[in-house]
Amino acid sequence: MRISQSATLAGFRRSVFSLSPVLVLALLASFSAPASAAKKIIFDTDPGTDDALALMLALNSPELDVRAITVVPGNVTAAMGLENALRMVSLANRCDIPVARGAQHPLFQKLITAEFWHGKNGLADIELPASKCKVDSRFGPDVIIQLVHASPHEIILLPVGPLTNIALAVEKDPSIVPLVKEVILMGGSISGGNVNAAAEANIYNDPEAAQIVFQAGWPLTMVGLEVGDQALFTHKYLDQLGQTHGQINDFIYSVLKFLLNLSGTFGAPGSPMYDPSAVAVAVDSTLVKVQEMHVDVETRGEFTRGETVGNRRGQVERNVLHGDRYVIEGVDKITPNARVCVDVDADRFLQLFVSRIRGK
């Protein structure tokens, strides 16, 4: 798609030589502005039904320029996730976007796959056509490193799976940290988990990687369960999606129909929009309210491994050892490392999602 747009623009430039320079500049500016203003993102994903929603929202949003897709194991194995990513970019006719395989397993634990929630093939048991797109030969974390250095201070990392690939990129080349514009991730919770009492699935699937990403020192927005659980996709929105048709529109309609049936079997009023919420925040940050706080990822707790522990008060007591006991001598301020999304304008987010998937 990008190639044909460039070709059209080149032809356009040749054909306007006879016009006045001022008019030409104005016309060119009107053509060039949206592309240059689009935010460059790297989409790191474990596809996954809600990954599919997120990816198609990103590809259908002119505010975003998806520069690469890196695949991480999570909802499904690395191999299945790669196949799903390739089929989806093919469906969207976007073989121009590099799709790279990344880590094959979490850093320090066994992978936990979620076909239970996503269907046997990870994509709601929808069989997409074989991909016309080829896998990029590079290792996903290397793609991240290369693209960040190629566009310093411009790349937004948008991980919507376990944070293994992002952590590997940081560990291999810490110099990318100050060069990344920001990280907007789907994951975590400061109000209880969805895999157990404490942990959210993406963080739970690789807590050590998550702790590396949270402590790296870059601007980081955590779009966690506080957003996704409030933004429930219901039949009202599904009906709107069903009014229009197209390859992406019909695919996403089928995915959401699967998810609504699934949530219905659990008596839920709708399907939580986890991964697309992070994309939506990248598109329009005014959709959410954020609170700055310091977040650590619990890696050792008996009941809390994988919990994102947010310090809502921004302080800790200072305990000083005096003989055989500690004495509280004051309170130390804690520097925030994350903007935690604590509220969302759910209807505006869901309307944005529906309209973008419908191609409007």
Residues in touch with Ca ion (CB under 5 A): 46, 48, 51, 160-161, 275
- Residue closer to Ca ion (CB basis): 161 or 310: 161
What is the nearest approach in angstroms of Ca ion to the Cβ of residue 83?
15
Give the residue with the Cβ less far from Ca ion, 48 or 140: 48
Supply the minimum distance, in Å, between the C-beta of residue 135 and Ca ion.
Answer: 19
CA-CA distance, 265 to 203, in Å (whole number)?
Answer: 26
Rounded Cα–Cα distance for residues 345 and 293 (Å): 21
- Using the minimum distance from each CB to Ca ion, give the nearer residue, 100 or 160: 160
Q: Minimum distance from CB of 191 to Ca ion (Å)?
A: 20
What's the angle, vertex CA 68, arms to CA 63 and CA 69, rounded to 5? 105
For residue 162, the minimal CB distance to Ca ion (Å) is: 8
Cβ proximity to Ca ion: between 206 and 275 the closer is 275
Q: How far apart are CA 40 and CA 268, in angstroms?
A: 36
Min dist CB 138 to Ca ion, Å, is 21
- In sequence order, what are the residues at sequence separation of 6 or more whose Cβ sits closer than 8 angstroms to the Cβ of residue 161? 44, 45, 46, 48, 51, 72, 73, 74, 75, 81, 202, 205
Q: How far is the CB of 50 from Ca ion (least distance, A)?
A: 6
Helix, strand, or coil here: 278?
A: helix
Would you say 141 or 162 has its CB closer to Ca ion? 162
Kindly tell me the sign of the dihedral angle through the C-alpha atoms of 4, 139, 59, 34: negative
CB of 81 to Ca ion, least distance (A): 9
Residue placing its CB nearer to Ca ion in the complex, 273 or 293: 273
CA–CA separation, 36 and 31 (whole Å):
10
> Do 271 and 231 touch, CB atoms closer than 8 A?
no
Give the contacts of 156 (CB within 8 A, at least 6 positions apart): 39, 40, 41, 42, 180, 181, 182, 183, 184, 282
Smaller CB separation from Ca ion, 65 or 275? 275
Q: At closest approach, how far in Å is the CB of 348 from Ca ion?
A: 22
Cα–Cα distance, 146 to 98 (Å, whole number): 12
Pick 48 or 272: Cβ nearer Ca ion: 48
- Give a three-class secondary structure readout of 174-215: HHHHHHCCEEEEECCCCCCCCCCCCCCHHHHCCHHHHHHHHH
Nearer to Ca ion, 189 or 294 (CB): 189
Amino acid, single-letter form, for residue 174? P
Give the largest CA-CA distance in the chain.
88
Q: How far is the CB of 118 from Ca ion (least distance, A)?
A: 9
Sheet holding 99-101, edge to edge: 99-101, 64-71, 39-45, 155-159, 182-186, 220-223, 338-344, 288-297, 308-311
Q: What's CA 174's distance to the chain center, in Å?
A: 21
